[in-house]
A = this chain, B = another copy of it.
Amino acid sequence: MAPRLTGAAVAEHNSKDSCWVIVHGKAYDVTEFLPEHPGGSKIILKYAGKDATEEFDPIHPPDTLDKYLDKSKHLGDVDMSTVEQEEKEVDPEEAERLERIKRMPPLAACYNLMDFETVARQIMKKTGWAYYSSGADDEITLRENHHAFHKIWFRPRVLVDVENIDMSTTMLGTPVSIPFYVTATALGKLGHPEGEVVLTKAAHNHNVIQMIPTLASCSFDEIVDAKQGDQVQWLQLYVNKDREITRKIVAHAEKRGCKGLFITVDAPQLGRREKDMRSKFSDAGSNVQSGDDGIDRSQGAARAISSFIDPALSWKDIPWFKSITKMPIVLKGVQCVEDVLRAVETGVDGVVLSNHGGRQLETARSGIEVLAEVMPALRERGWDKRIEVYVDGGVRRATDILKALCLGAKGVGIGRPFLYAMSAYGVDGVNRAMQLLKDEMEMNMRLIGATRVEDLNPSFLDTRGLLSGHAGTIPSDTLGLRAYDPLQGPRFNEKAKL
């Protein structure tokens, strides 16, 4: 066994001419790898000669170095006791965050999915929060996603015997306890040290399907290994420019038992998420004077890890996918009726109407609005049984799920709320989030007067609010509003009455 390296020995290699880093107690020579790093060389050089574990972990699955760095660059164990501990400046915001964690509300004080967001926002690390919560441009689509559900109102039926509610259904042939699945979201370890396997456990507890993300913090196999019993998982796929890599990923997923292949089609390039960028910037760039040194230090987590995605992916690739797998194929990120019709004609098994959680194209319409455009066209052609239509984006309440199902969706995907629940409370949090949805679902099926998923149909909805598109309002009359003296209610006395 080789002698362990000392911290001092590693520390000598602290430049782009010779750059060593320590990860999990082992040293690696990344000098030659610097220009190839998808996230840029700058971020690595920040840790040249030092321990990079903390920064490395959430962004890279554990098998990354084995997979992508030649064995000859693996320099062996480091005697960590000899590595100088970096004195971190006390960041007052971070100190406040740690203080807030001590005062966290108990889990039972979370009554709905928004509550997890409220808590997570205050206790998550800045970069993790920024990565999860951010959306494209002005985050108008991000917010529209939930908002759009509020344009649809219910037309409930009364005096229906609703004693027994059955909210189970099937998705791509798999029976599930309730019509939602855990959709794929990247970089789970930004929120929780265990990453995506937390979601795997909760999905098992509640008998719902988990979609495994390409950009997970855990490795694919870790996530599959975490499944229990006959738990079902799907694979979300970013298609690599190198199709052979993609072929291997798909074949491996099928071999490991995945039951659905969800090809992301709304992200030929990952979107600009300025909240995420800004967070990165304040991390890396606070002492930088010049703004334009040619290095984009501010691209945020998402873009750093996505350079492999193939922007040339097109309809003519679909037959190839059908040739390499027997898994049902679903296109994730379809956004207008024309493409849904084409998907049917192409023979895929499903579509997810999605704008990628408002993270890609700004003022893209919400999935639920697209659904209202899509389903009548499918029914008109008698094609509504030839394809399963899913929706994601903005689902926060069981009423949201019900609206999607009444319109004709087979199910909905939920992403961020579970990330927030996980980040704040771990697996207990995700369990409670799912249970809250089940409680809401049972109650709301009773209240609209439907006992089974099959009973749901458009007559339960008033969707006129969607017809006018996005009408907007007139910019407010600031001068007039300031001049106006608003009404006041009764005033309490200044002093107590005698």
Identify the A interface with B (CB < 8 A).
99-100, 102-112, 114-115, 117-119, 121-122, 129, 133, 137-140, 142-144, 146-163, 265-266, 268-269, 271-272, 274-275, 277-278, 281-282, 285-286, 288-292, 297-298, 310-315, 317-318, 331, 333-336, 338-339, 360-365, 396-397, 399, 425, 428, 431-432, 439-440, 442-444, 446-448, 459, 462-475, 477-480, 482-497
Given A138-B477, A150-B140: A492 and B158 within 8 A (CB)?
no
A360 to B158, alpha carbons, bound, how many Å? 12
Q: Which residues of B contact A148 (CB under 8 A)?
A: 472
CB<8 Å pairs between A and B, sample of 17: A108-B292, A114-B480, A114-B483, A115-B489, A115-B490, A118-B489, A143-B484, A147-B472, A155-B335, A156-B266, A161-B312, A161-B313, A272-B440, A275-B485, A282-B491, A291-B428, A464-B470
Chain B nearest CB from A40 CB (Å) reads 14
Nearest to A100 among chain B residues (CB) is B492
Copies of this chain per assembly: 4
Chain B nearest CB from A269 CB (Å) reads 5
Given A103-B495, A464-B468, A478-B138: A483 and B117 within 8 A (CB)?
yes
Q: Which residues of B contact A396 (CB under 8 A)?
A: 480
Q: Which residues of B contact A311 (CB under 8 A)?
A: 161-163, 446
When the two chains form their complex, are residues A285 and B363 in contact, meaning their CB atoms are under 8 A apart? Answer: no
When the two chains form their complex, are residues A290 and B107 in contact, meaning their CB atoms are under 8 A apart? Answer: yes
A298 partner, pick from B108, B475, B484, beta carbons under 8 A: B108
When the two chains form their complex, are residues A487 and B491 in contact, meaning their CB atoms are under 8 A apart? Answer: no
When the two chains form their complex, are residues A363 and B150 in contact, meaning their CB atoms are under 8 A apart? Answer: yes
Nearest to A120 among chain B residues (CB) is B483
When the two chains form their complex, are residues B467 and A469 in contact, meaning their CB atoms are under 8 A apart? Answer: yes
When the two chains form their complex, are residues B99 and A496 in contact, meaning their CB atoms are under 8 A apart? Answer: yes
